[in-house]
Structure 1
């Protein structure tokens, strides 16, 4: 493997390891000490800890090994390599933090009066950790592998499969924890899901303008001059009028939305504007990958 390829692999693996470590920390520092829950196969490890006192690191390893081997056979080595990194990292950090907590090197956040604080911070740490893992192509195994396999075999939606698994596992926790704690868990899951989406979509987001106007060229010139943003002119024909038109397309930062609207309205008050959310924008003026 060349140095360049080795470095590219490392740039993906290191964040996955870090994200798995942060996720493990949130699980042991906020979730388990406050008898909250988590979805997926990790939720099963939490339930096994509550019901039988089984170490989360041990149950995570035992549950994920057969799933990983099945995934390796059905999904292939290429898809599973970063999942293997995620599973190994999660197992290691769970074991490490368990030892550190047991030896008193880390004190857990345990509360009897302010579960909302525990739920919020659990959501932040779990969501950030998983978001980093997912963003760099890894997973922590478990329900993600199950969802991929069922999607491959039956064409079912991965999102729906994972939602059903989460509902089943969190619902079954009612046998072990109170319904109030399950409701706090839903706060954690919601916060985590929002952070996962934000990190996966990327902080480099903005708005895409599609501007249909008889003066699209003039509008494009002003946007390029005043905002220093690239604009693409797309030839089009009006379906009703049969007249040739141009469509101006550009992507700007959130701070520039109002300025673009003002430019368009000043040139052509009758212009038709479509504004779409765009995420993870790459290129000049946004993020440029090395």
Structure 2
């Protein structure tokens, strides 16, 4: 998934036909789906995602800070680094996606979670998250700077991009065991699987 998304970014960088309005609207929709998944399904049920999103959920519980603001803040250095690999368009669209997500998670924060049922959280939360992130990736941006970090590491270490991402996520999901418990960590892994299968499906349609 990560290798295909990076290839997609690079392909978008070379394309001349680019609709700012169309891409911006779809990225807005994608960020909205992610915000709904986070605030109405995952965060309040102590379910995390991988990468920067998962780390932001953990830190939001520890420091009681809005998860969307943390995603935007933690992504900034990685997105700036991504500018040198993927161009200014990638940076602008990614900042837009992160900013929309930060605003909408703040708006949705006072609302109660839709459900506490584990199966519904995994399926609905994972699908909404995967659809949102998939649309953002498909139209030239990203919400997770760990993909950019994986590119940098893979060029300097004997690891693939996917292996770098896997290693970072093992650390993040491992941390959730100590903070939230083994049950929540298992639910998080299941949600992660649903989300990234959904992302793969959306990207493969591009």
**TM-score band, normalised by the shorter chain?**
0.7 to 0.9
Query: Is the CA contact 2:48–2:54 (under 8 Å) kept in the aligned structure 1?
Result: yes
Distance 2:72 2:196 in 1: 24
Aligned pair 1:38/2:52, yes or no?
Answer: no
Alignment RMSD: 2.2
Q: Could you tell me how far apart the structure 2 residues matched to 1:6 and 1:190 are?
A: 33
1:140 aligns with 2:151: no
Query: Which structure is higher in helix share?
Result: 2
Residue 22 of structure 1 and its aligned partner are, at CA, apart by 1.0
Deviation at 1:69, TM superposition (A): 2.3
Runs of 4+ in 1 over 4 A off after TM superposition: none
Mind listing any 5+ residue stretches in structure 2 that lack a counterpart?
1-15
Superposition pairs for residues 102-121 of structure 1, below 5 Å? 102=110, 106-111=111-116, 114-121=117-124
**Over alpha carbons, which structure has the higher Rg?**
1
Any conservation in 1 of the 2:54–2:172 contact (CA below 8 Å)?
yes
Is residue 62 of structure 1 aligned with residue 73 of structure 2?
Answer: yes
In 2, the alpha carbon distance for the partners of 1:96 and 1:134 equals 19
In the alignment, is residue 91 of structure 1 matched against residue 96 of structure 2?
no
Structure possessing the higher relative contact order (Cα contacts under 8 Å, 6 or more residues apart): 2
- Tell me how far apart the structure 2 counterparts of residues 88 and 101 of structure 1 sit (CA, whole Å): 20
What CA deviation, in whole Å up to 9, does each residue of 1:182-209 have, x standing for no partner?
A: 111111111111111111111xxxxxxx
TM-score (norm 1): 0.60
> Is the contact between residue 97 and residue 142 of structure 2 (CA under 8 Å) also seen in structure 1?
no
SS at match of 2:62: helix
Please state if 1:177 is matched with 2:180: yes
The alpha-carbon distance between structure 1 residues 92 and 186, as it changes in their structure 2 partners (threshold 3 A), is same
Deviation of 1:57 after TM superposition, in Å, equals: 2.2
Runs of 5+ unmatched residues, structure 1: 203-279, 281-290
- The answer (yes or no) to whether the contact 2:51–2:144 under 8 Å persists in 1 is no
Whole-Å Cα distance in 2 between the matches of residues 117 and 36 of structure 1? 12
Q: Name the counterpart of 1:205.
A: none
More strand by share: 1
